[in-house]
Amino acid sequence: MAQRIAILTGGGDAPGLNAAIRAIGRRSLAAGDSLFGIRNGWAGMIGEGDVMHLDRSKLSGILQLGGTMLGSSRVNPMKLEHGIDEVMRNIERLHLDALVAIGGDDTLSVAARLAEQRARVVGVPKTMDNDLSITEYCIGFDSAVSVVTEALDRLHTTATSHHRVMVCEVMGRDTGWVAVMGGLAGGADMIIIPEFSVTVDEVVGHLEVRTRAGSDFSIIVVAEGVEMEGLQSKDAAEGARDAFGHVQLSRRGVGENLARIIEERTGHETRATVLGHVQRGGSPTAYDRIWATRVGAKAYELVVEGLFGEMPVVTNGTVDVASIADVVAEQRRVPRELYELAQIFY
Protein backbone atom coordinates (compact mmCIF):
# COMPACT_ATOMS: atom_id res chain seq x y z
CA MET A 1 0.00 0.00 0.00
CA ALA A 2 1.33 3.46 -0.93
CA GLN A 3 2.38 5.61 1.99
CA ARG A 4 2.94 9.29 2.73
CA ILE A 5 6.55 9.72 3.90
CA ALA A 6 8.43 12.86 4.92
CA ILE A 7 12.15 13.45 5.44
CA LEU A 8 13.89 16.13 7.52
CA THR A 9 17.53 16.97 8.23
CA GLY A 10 18.42 18.71 11.49
CA GLY A 11 21.47 20.16 13.20
CA GLY A 12 24.69 21.03 11.41
CA ASP A 13 24.95 20.24 7.73
CA ALA A 14 27.32 17.48 6.65
CA PRO A 15 28.46 15.94 3.37
CA GLY A 16 26.39 12.84 2.62
CA LEU A 17 23.01 14.16 3.74
CA ASN A 18 21.79 14.45 0.16
CA ALA A 19 22.93 10.91 -0.56
CA ALA A 20 20.73 9.65 2.29
CA ILE A 21 17.77 11.78 1.17
CA ARG A 22 18.18 10.41 -2.35
CA ALA A 23 18.29 6.80 -1.13
CA ILE A 24 15.17 7.14 0.99
CA GLY A 25 13.40 9.08 -1.74
CA ARG A 26 14.24 6.78 -4.63
CA ARG A 27 13.09 3.71 -2.68
CA SER A 28 9.92 5.53 -1.68
CA LEU A 29 9.01 6.81 -5.13
CA ALA A 30 9.78 3.43 -6.72
CA ALA A 31 7.16 1.92 -4.40
CA GLY A 32 4.58 4.50 -5.43
CA ASP A 33 4.65 6.46 -2.17
CA SER A 34 3.97 10.17 -1.83
CA LEU A 35 7.20 11.84 -0.70
CA PHE A 36 7.67 15.12 1.15
CA GLY A 37 10.60 17.13 2.42
CA ILE A 38 10.43 19.11 5.65
CA ARG A 39 12.35 22.35 5.24
CA ASN A 40 14.90 23.46 7.84
CA GLY A 41 14.79 20.59 10.30
CA TRP A 42 12.34 20.64 13.19
CA ALA A 43 11.54 24.28 12.39
CA GLY A 44 9.57 22.97 9.44
CA MET A 45 7.31 20.99 11.78
CA ILE A 46 6.42 23.96 14.01
CA GLY A 47 3.38 26.18 13.49
CA GLU A 48 1.84 25.65 10.08
CA GLY A 49 4.88 23.67 8.97
CA ASP A 50 7.09 24.16 5.93
CA VAL A 51 6.79 21.24 3.54
CA MET A 52 7.76 20.61 -0.07
CA HIS A 53 6.70 17.82 -2.39
CA LEU A 54 9.59 15.69 -3.63
CA ASP A 55 9.72 13.91 -6.98
CA ARG A 56 12.45 12.26 -9.03
CA SER A 57 13.53 15.55 -10.60
CA LYS A 58 14.27 17.06 -7.19
CA LEU A 59 16.32 14.01 -6.19
CA SER A 60 18.34 13.98 -9.42
CA GLY A 61 21.95 15.18 -9.34
CA ILE A 62 22.20 15.57 -5.57
CA LEU A 63 24.34 12.53 -4.68
CA GLN A 64 27.61 14.42 -5.01
CA LEU A 65 26.42 17.66 -3.44
CA GLY A 66 27.38 18.72 0.07
CA GLY A 67 24.96 20.29 2.52
CA THR A 68 21.29 19.38 2.49
CA MET A 69 18.73 20.20 -0.17
CA LEU A 70 16.07 20.41 2.57
CA GLY A 71 17.89 22.99 4.66
CA SER A 72 18.56 22.60 8.36
CA SER A 73 18.29 24.38 11.71
CA ARG A 74 18.97 23.85 15.40
CA VAL A 75 15.38 24.48 16.45
CA ASN A 76 14.46 22.27 19.41
CA PRO A 77 10.72 21.56 19.77
CA MET A 78 11.33 20.25 23.29
CA LYS A 79 12.35 23.78 24.38
CA LEU A 80 9.30 25.45 22.82
CA GLU A 81 6.00 25.70 24.62
CA HIS A 82 3.79 22.99 23.13
CA GLY A 83 6.55 22.33 20.56
CA ILE A 84 6.23 18.55 20.62
CA ASP A 85 2.46 18.88 20.39
CA GLU A 86 2.85 21.06 17.29
CA VAL A 87 5.10 18.47 15.64
CA MET A 88 2.57 15.74 16.43
CA ARG A 89 -0.25 17.86 15.02
CA ASN A 90 1.67 18.46 11.79
CA ILE A 91 2.35 14.74 11.41
CA GLU A 92 -1.41 14.20 11.66
CA ARG A 93 -2.35 17.20 9.53
CA LEU A 94 -0.06 16.03 6.72
CA HIS A 95 -1.46 12.50 7.10
CA LEU A 96 2.07 11.16 7.31
CA ASP A 97 2.53 7.43 7.58
CA ALA A 98 6.18 7.99 8.52
CA LEU A 99 8.69 10.74 9.29
CA VAL A 100 12.39 10.04 8.73
CA ALA A 101 14.66 12.29 10.83
CA ILE A 102 18.30 12.48 9.77
CA GLY A 103 20.60 13.99 12.37
CA GLY A 104 22.86 13.71 15.38
CA ASP A 105 22.25 13.57 19.10
CA ASP A 106 20.09 16.71 19.22
CA THR A 107 17.86 15.90 16.25
CA LEU A 108 17.50 12.27 17.25
CA SER A 109 16.71 13.17 20.87
CA VAL A 110 13.62 14.94 19.55
CA ALA A 111 12.82 11.88 17.42
CA ALA A 112 13.16 9.65 20.49
CA ARG A 113 10.75 11.89 22.39
CA LEU A 114 8.25 11.68 19.54
CA ALA A 115 8.62 7.90 19.46
CA GLU A 116 7.70 7.81 23.15
CA GLN A 117 4.41 9.38 22.11
CA ARG A 118 3.95 6.70 19.46
CA ALA A 119 4.81 8.95 16.53
CA ARG A 120 5.71 7.02 13.38
CA VAL A 121 9.31 8.19 13.25
CA VAL A 122 12.52 6.55 12.03
CA GLY A 123 16.04 7.94 12.53
CA VAL A 124 19.23 8.07 10.45
CA PRO A 125 22.68 8.73 12.05
CA LYS A 126 24.40 11.93 10.99
CA THR A 127 27.11 13.77 12.90
CA MET A 128 30.57 14.91 11.93
CA ASP A 129 31.62 14.37 15.55
CA ASN A 130 31.02 10.59 15.13
CA ASP A 131 29.83 10.45 18.74
CA LEU A 132 26.55 8.54 18.48
CA SER A 133 26.63 5.32 20.47
CA ILE A 134 26.15 1.84 18.95
CA THR A 135 26.77 2.87 15.34
CA GLU A 136 30.25 2.83 13.82
CA TYR A 137 29.18 5.11 10.99
CA CYS A 138 27.71 8.61 11.01
CA ILE A 139 27.05 10.63 7.87
CA GLY A 140 29.69 13.33 7.31
CA PHE A 141 32.46 12.04 9.55
CA ASP A 142 34.62 10.51 6.82
CA SER A 143 34.36 13.65 4.69
CA ALA A 144 35.38 15.83 7.65
CA VAL A 145 38.40 13.62 8.39
CA SER A 146 39.43 13.87 4.74
CA VAL A 147 39.36 17.68 4.94
CA VAL A 148 41.49 17.64 8.10
CA THR A 149 43.95 15.21 6.50
CA GLU A 150 44.40 17.40 3.43
CA ALA A 151 44.82 20.50 5.59
CA LEU A 152 47.55 18.83 7.65
CA ASP A 153 49.33 17.75 4.47
CA ARG A 154 49.42 21.40 3.44
CA LEU A 155 50.42 22.66 6.89
CA HIS A 156 53.37 20.26 6.95
CA THR A 157 55.00 22.00 4.00
CA THR A 158 54.85 25.46 5.53
CA ALA A 159 55.79 24.17 8.99
CA THR A 160 58.94 22.50 7.68
CA SER A 161 59.86 25.47 5.46
CA HIS A 162 59.66 28.00 8.30
CA HIS A 163 60.55 25.68 11.23
CA ARG A 164 57.30 26.53 12.98
CA VAL A 165 54.87 24.95 15.37
CA MET A 166 51.49 24.77 13.62
CA VAL A 167 48.35 24.40 15.76
CA CYS A 168 45.33 23.18 13.82
CA GLU A 169 41.95 23.55 15.55
CA VAL A 170 39.28 21.12 14.35
CA MET A 171 35.67 20.39 15.28
CA GLY A 172 34.85 18.27 18.31
CA ARG A 173 32.67 19.69 21.07
CA ASP A 174 32.77 16.79 23.53
CA THR A 175 34.67 14.08 21.66
CA GLY A 176 37.87 13.99 19.63
CA TRP A 177 37.08 11.59 16.79
CA VAL A 178 37.77 14.11 14.02
CA ALA A 179 40.99 15.23 15.69
CA VAL A 180 42.30 11.71 16.32
CA MET A 181 41.45 10.20 12.95
CA GLY A 182 42.40 13.30 10.99
CA GLY A 183 45.59 13.69 13.03
CA LEU A 184 46.59 10.07 12.50
CA ALA A 185 45.95 10.26 8.76
CA GLY A 186 47.67 13.63 8.44
CA GLY A 187 50.76 12.79 10.46
CA ALA A 188 50.18 15.13 13.40
CA ASP A 189 52.90 15.12 16.05
CA MET A 190 50.50 15.74 18.93
CA ILE A 191 46.72 15.37 19.21
CA ILE A 192 44.74 16.98 22.03
CA ILE A 193 41.14 15.88 22.58
CA PRO A 194 38.40 16.35 25.23
CA GLU A 195 38.47 12.73 26.42
CA PHE A 196 42.00 12.86 27.84
CA SER A 197 43.28 15.94 29.65
CA VAL A 198 46.65 17.43 28.77
CA THR A 199 48.44 20.27 30.57
CA VAL A 200 50.36 23.12 29.01
CA ASP A 201 53.50 21.71 30.66
CA GLU A 202 52.95 18.42 28.82
CA VAL A 203 52.57 20.25 25.51
CA VAL A 204 55.78 22.18 26.15
CA GLY A 205 57.56 18.98 27.21
CA HIS A 206 56.44 17.26 24.03
CA LEU A 207 57.92 20.05 21.91
CA GLU A 208 61.20 19.90 23.85
CA VAL A 209 61.44 16.15 23.19
CA ARG A 210 60.98 16.76 19.46
CA THR A 211 63.59 19.50 19.48
CA ARG A 212 66.14 17.25 21.19
CA ALA A 213 65.35 14.54 18.64
CA GLY A 214 66.31 16.94 15.85
CA SER A 215 62.86 18.06 14.70
CA ASP A 216 62.60 21.78 14.03
CA PHE A 217 58.84 21.88 13.39
CA SER A 218 55.68 20.41 14.93
CA ILE A 219 52.05 19.87 13.95
CA ILE A 220 49.54 19.91 16.81
CA VAL A 221 45.87 19.08 16.28
CA VAL A 222 43.45 20.28 18.96
CA ALA A 223 39.70 19.70 19.19
CA GLU A 224 37.67 22.86 19.75
CA GLY A 225 36.06 21.44 22.90
CA VAL A 226 39.32 20.80 24.80
CA GLU A 227 39.56 22.12 28.36
CA MET A 228 43.04 23.23 29.46
CA GLU A 229 44.61 25.59 31.94
CA GLY A 230 45.04 28.98 30.31
CA LEU A 231 42.16 28.46 27.89
CA GLN A 232 38.65 29.77 28.42
CA SER A 233 36.33 27.02 29.60
CA LYS A 234 33.36 25.92 27.53
CA ASP A 235 30.99 27.04 30.27
CA ALA A 236 32.49 30.53 30.25
CA ALA A 237 32.55 30.84 26.45
CA GLU A 238 30.84 33.99 25.23
CA GLY A 239 28.03 34.13 22.71
CA ALA A 240 24.41 33.08 22.45
CA ARG A 241 23.55 29.44 22.95
CA ASP A 242 21.40 27.52 20.50
CA ALA A 243 18.15 25.79 21.40
CA PHE A 244 20.07 22.70 22.53
CA GLY A 245 22.29 24.74 24.88
CA HIS A 246 25.43 24.76 22.73
CA VAL A 247 27.63 27.84 22.47
CA GLN A 248 29.62 28.51 19.30
CA LEU A 249 33.00 27.09 20.35
CA SER A 250 34.98 28.86 17.62
CA ARG A 251 34.57 32.01 19.72
CA ARG A 252 36.77 30.43 22.42
CA GLY A 253 39.79 30.68 20.17
CA VAL A 254 41.30 27.43 21.48
CA GLY A 255 43.78 27.15 18.60
CA GLU A 256 44.85 30.80 18.67
CA ASN A 257 45.24 30.89 22.45
CA LEU A 258 47.16 27.63 22.59
CA ALA A 259 49.48 28.89 19.86
CA ARG A 260 50.10 32.09 21.84
CA ILE A 261 50.85 30.15 25.03
CA ILE A 262 53.25 27.82 23.20
CA GLU A 263 55.16 30.72 21.67
CA GLU A 264 55.39 32.51 25.01
CA ARG A 265 56.58 29.39 26.84
CA THR A 266 58.97 27.96 24.24
CA GLY A 267 60.06 30.81 22.01
CA HIS A 268 59.14 28.70 18.96
CA GLU A 269 57.44 30.65 16.21
CA THR A 270 53.87 29.32 16.33
CA ARG A 271 50.85 29.77 14.06
CA ALA A 272 47.24 28.65 14.39
CA THR A 273 44.82 27.50 11.72
CA VAL A 274 41.11 27.07 12.46
CA LEU A 275 39.42 24.83 9.90
CA GLY A 276 35.93 25.63 11.15
CA HIS A 277 33.08 25.16 8.70
CA VAL A 278 35.44 24.10 5.92
CA GLN A 279 35.11 20.66 7.52
CA ARG A 280 31.37 20.68 6.78
CA GLY A 281 31.59 21.91 3.22
CA GLY A 282 32.13 20.42 -0.19
CA SER A 283 31.31 17.10 -1.79
CA PRO A 284 31.06 13.93 0.31
CA THR A 285 33.76 11.29 -0.01
CA ALA A 286 32.96 8.06 -1.83
CA TYR A 287 32.76 6.34 1.57
CA ASP A 288 30.15 8.81 2.80
CA ARG A 289 28.16 8.53 -0.42
CA ILE A 290 28.05 4.75 -0.20
CA TRP A 291 27.25 4.40 3.49
CA ALA A 292 24.77 7.30 3.54
CA THR A 293 23.00 5.52 0.70
CA ARG A 294 23.03 2.24 2.62
CA VAL A 295 21.65 3.65 5.88
CA GLY A 296 19.11 5.72 3.94
CA ALA A 297 17.86 2.65 2.10
CA LYS A 298 17.65 0.75 5.38
CA ALA A 299 15.63 3.57 6.94
CA TYR A 300 13.05 3.13 4.21
CA GLU A 301 12.92 -0.61 4.93
CA LEU A 302 12.18 0.18 8.59
CA VAL A 303 9.28 2.36 7.47
CA VAL A 304 7.89 -0.45 5.31
CA GLU A 305 8.25 -2.91 8.18
CA GLY A 306 6.59 -0.50 10.62
CA LEU A 307 9.60 -0.51 12.95
CA PHE A 308 9.09 3.00 14.29
CA GLY A 309 11.31 4.40 17.02
CA GLU A 310 14.17 2.49 15.37
CA MET A 311 17.07 3.53 13.14
CA PRO A 312 19.79 1.96 11.01
CA VAL A 313 23.22 1.64 12.59
CA VAL A 314 26.47 0.20 11.28
CA THR A 315 28.19 -2.49 13.32
CA ASN A 316 31.01 -4.78 12.19
CA GLY A 317 30.72 -3.50 8.64
CA THR A 318 27.02 -4.29 8.22
CA VAL A 319 23.82 -2.28 8.54
CA ASP A 320 21.92 -3.26 11.66
CA VAL A 321 19.03 -1.75 13.64
CA ALA A 322 18.85 -0.11 17.07
CA SER A 323 16.30 1.99 18.93
CA ILE A 324 16.71 5.74 18.60
CA ALA A 325 16.55 6.05 22.38
CA ASP A 326 19.48 3.66 22.83
CA VAL A 327 21.60 5.48 20.24
CA VAL A 328 21.21 8.85 21.98
CA ALA A 329 21.48 7.44 25.50
CA GLU A 330 25.22 8.19 25.71
CA GLN A 331 28.10 9.56 23.68
CA ARG A 332 30.57 7.35 21.86
CA ARG A 333 33.97 8.53 23.00
CA VAL A 334 37.47 7.93 21.66
CA PRO A 335 38.90 4.81 23.33
CA ARG A 336 42.19 5.06 25.17
CA GLU A 337 43.89 2.52 22.91
CA LEU A 338 43.29 4.71 19.84
CA TYR A 339 44.46 7.81 21.67
CA GLU A 340 47.62 6.03 22.83
CA LEU A 341 48.30 4.91 19.27
CA ALA A 342 48.26 8.55 18.22
CA GLN A 343 50.79 9.40 20.95
CA ILE A 344 53.39 7.07 19.45
CA PHE A 345 54.01 9.35 16.51
CA TYR A 346 55.84 12.33 17.95
Identify the CATH number of the domain in which residue 184 sits.
Answer: 3.40.50.460
Taking the chain (346 residues) in consecutive chunks of 10 residues, what is each chunk's mean pLDDT? 95 96 98 98 96 97 97 94 96 97 96 97 97 97 98 96 96 95 96 94 92 92 91 59 56 87 93 94 97 98 98 97 97 95 80
Residue 40 and residue 82 in one domain = yes
Q: Are residues 169 and 100 in the same domain?
A: no
CA distance 156 to 216: 12
Give a yes or no: residue 70 inside a domain.
Answer: yes
Q: Catalytic: 129?
A: yes
Answer whether residue 306 is part of any domain. Answer: yes
The confidence score (pLDDT) of residue 12 equals: 93
229 & 161 share domain: yes
Determine, yes or no, domain membership for 335: no
Instruction: Please indicate, yes or no, whether the overall pTM of this predicted structure exceeds 0.85.
Output: yes
Question: Could you tell me if 293 and 274 lie in one domain?
Answer: no
Task: Please tell me the distance from the alpha carbon of residue 228 to that of residue 219, in angstroms, as a whole number.
Answer: 18
Within this chain, do residues 294 and 211 fall inside the same structural domain, yes or no? no
Q: Is residue 290 part of a domain?
A: yes
161 lies in the same domain as 252? yes
Catalytic one among 129, 142, 189, 288? 129
Domain that holds residue 88: 4-139+284-327
Secondary structure of the chain in HEC code, one letter for each residue: CCCEEEEEECCCCCCCHHHHHHHHHHHHHHCCCEEEEECCHHHHHCCCCCEEEECHHHHCCCCCCCCCCCCCCCCCHHHCCCHHHHHHHHHHHCCCCEEEEEECHHHHHHHHHHHHCCCCEEEEEECCCCCECCCCCCECHHHHHHHHHHHHHHHHHHHHHHCCEEEEEECCCCCCHHHHHHHHHHCCCEEECCCCCCCHHHHHHHHHHHHHCCCCCEEEEEECCCCCCCCCCCCCCCCCECCCCCECHHHHCHHHHHHHHHHHHHCCCEEEEECHHHHCCCCCCHHHHHHHHHHHHHHHHHHHHCCCCEEEEEECCEEEEEEHHHHCCCECCCCHHHHHHHHHCC
Do both 53 and 99 map to the same domain? yes
Q: 112 and 206: one domain?
A: no
Asked whether residue 187 is domain-assigned, the answer is yes
Q: Are residues 129 and 166 in the same domain?
A: no
Residue 1 has a pLDDT of 79
- 201 inside domain: yes
Q: Is residue 338 part of a domain?
A: no
